[in-house]
Amino acid sequence: MPEIVIAGGGPNGLLLAAELCLAGVRPVVLERLPGDKEEQRANGLVGQVVQLLHRRGLYARLSGTDEPAPAPAYLFGGFRLDLADLPEHPVHLLPKPQRELERTLAEHAASLGADIRRGHEVTGFSTHPDSVTVRVNGPGGRYELTAGYLVGADGGRSLVRKLAGIGFPGVTRDDTVSFAAQVRIPAELTDPATGGLRAGSHVIPPFLHYRTETGVFTYAPFTVAAPMVNSTERGVPVPPDDGPPTLDEVRASIRRVLGTDLPIEAPPAGSGPPPRRLAGGNTRIATRFRAGRILLLGDAAHVHSAIGGPGLNLGLQDAANLAWKLAAEVHGWAPPGLLDSYDAERRPVSRRVVMHTQAQGALTAPGPEVTELRALFQELLSHDVVRGHLADLLSGNDIRYSDEPHPLVGRWSPDLRLADPEPLAAAHRAARPVLLDLSPGAKAAAAAGPWQDRVTIVSTSAAGETPTALLIRPDGYVAWASDDAGPDLDALRSALARWFGAGVTTAAA
């Protein structure tokens, strides 16, 4: 029987499957749709998840470049967020349509041994003290799977969440509608110098939420032949969802937002998905991410506005956080409370994302009072400390899973200039926990010996001012750190036991 069943084969479910495989657990992924999703969704990744994918060896495969670099600018609430003049910042970008990301993650998970079943829909489940029986409707008929755990990665309307009786409180807007389409635009309307767009009296920067008194417009030239346009309106009746909108509907929405016509045409055949309409919007967080042997992931656990592009950063980091903890339970070495720490760590992060997406929505709303608020906010953006704070917020770099006094504990592990970087890189690719020992005489490494069956020990040296030792979790966050030439070995052993269970010698005794 499979130890883990994942309901949903989107990016979050697929990354969870891959991470579980790296941890020695082969899950079954049940995806309702028989083939790839063609509708337009996310257009890329932003934040810490880009660095996570780089550590797993996936960034080069997705981007065609060797390693990510901080972006010179990003956006917040319709403002350009200039970052190039900051001493350092964590905003990394990976432009990539979601359907291409899903294909890459599916290939990655399958190559590691995940059983991905397309056209198989979860219809129900029954929980037992030591297992879950999942009912499935597949191409060959109905069948059942018994597993140790069921993970709902099945989207905002999650059947798994509903049947588990987990609440999903929040707010729903029913007065907004947005249209997105890949189109052709006359070349004379684009500005070769800035990559922007001219529409009537408007000069619209690329990839920026351009606010007017009637809505928001975005021009995203991911490809020259078929750039993406998006218009969002508030205070309008929500049309019925009766299939993809026509290009005339998209043109009419753009005219209402910009107050002028934009001559758009259908893109070359096969260059993209059909236009998309999104009516209304939800902001909700599940009351808990775990109910016994049922766990929630990604949109099944939280939904929010897509402004600023935080969705995949949030959901994929859910997957990285959950996978190694689930695998520890399966392998039998998980310390008490480890799996519950998934909810304790990730729900506060979800609330923070909801906070800043709602704030960005307020900054892009119509109305003269919002115009004045934006004037004040523009003044604040002249301060480095404000832009740095927003960069941390948008990237997830402000996540801290601990209140330990050491400033690195609970944070994303730093990239250090190691004398021999390959052993650490190999451990990151394999999603292994790591004790990185930079102390004289490798004192920490010797103390971690009883955990070497599940923790990779790397002893080397580093350039510059660095900690003397770091205990790094599989999801990339620091579990323990020392700056002393003689690390506190009792504190290290305590951290190893807290996160990775009893050491071998202790268990034997």
- Domains belonging to the chain, first-starting first, are 1-41+99-168+286-364 (3.50.50.60), 45-95+365-399 (no CATH), 171-280 (3.30.70.2450), 411-500 (3.40.30.120)
Q: Could you report the per-residue pLDDT of 166-204, keeping only the tens digit for each?
A: 999 999 888 889 999 999 999 999 888 888 999 999 999
**For residue 508, is pLDDT > 70?**
no
For residue 204, list its beta bridge partners.
Answer: 197
- Give the pLDDT score at 223: 83
* Reported pTM: 0.93
Q: Could you report the per-residue pLDDT of 2-12, keeping only the tens digit for each?
A: 899 999 999 99
User: How far is residue 211's CA from residue 232's CA, in Å, rounded to a whole number?
Assistant: 9
User: How far is residue 469's CA from residue 221's CA, in Å, rounded to a whole number?
Assistant: 45
State which H helix or E strand residue 230 sits in. strand 228-234
What amino acid is encoded at 59 in this protein? Y
The radius of gyration computed from the CA coordinates of the chain, to the nearest angstrom, equals: 24
User: How far is residue 375's CA from residue 441's CA, in Å, rounded to a whole number?
Assistant: 57
- Give the pLDDT score at 127: 97
- Give the pLDDT score at 1: 76
> CB-hemisphere CA count at 13 Å for 156?
13
Mean pLDDT, the chain, integer: 93
User: How far is residue 462's CA from residue 424's CA, in Å, rounded to a whole number?
Assistant: 12
Q: With beta carbons less than 8 A apart as the criterion, state whether 144 and 240 touch.
A: no
Name the band, by pLDDT with cuts 50, 70 and 90, for residue 42: confident
User: Dihedral, CA atoms, 229, 232, 238, 242, nearest 10 degrees?
Assistant: 10
The least confident of 85-94, 219-228, 367-376, 452-461 is: 219-228
User: Dihedral, CA atoms, 444, 448, 454, 458, nearest 10 degrees?
Assistant: 30
**For residue 274, is pLDDT > 90?**
no
If we measure between CA atoms, which residue out of 480, 488, 485, 483 comes closest to residue 441?
A: 485
**For residue 299, is pLDDT > 90?**
yes
- Give the pLDDT score at 40: 62
Name the band, by pLDDT with cuts 50, 70 and 90, for residue 509: very low
Q: With beta carbons less than 8 A apart as the criterion, state whether 309 and 43 touch.
A: yes
Residue tagged 């109910």 (tokens) = 291
- Give the pLDDT score at 481: 97
Name the band, by pLDDT with cuts 50, 70 and 90, for residue 56: very high
Q: What are residue 422's phi and psi, to 5 degrees?
A: -65, -45
User: How far is residue 145's CA from residue 27's CA, in Å, rounded to a whole number?
Assistant: 12
- Give the pLDDT score at 441: 85
Q: Could you report the per-residue pLDDT of 79-90, keeping only the tens digit for each?
A: 999 999 998 899
Residue 307 makes CB contacts below 8 A (sequence gap 6+) with 77, 209, 357, 360, 361, 364
Tokens coding 12: 């979050």
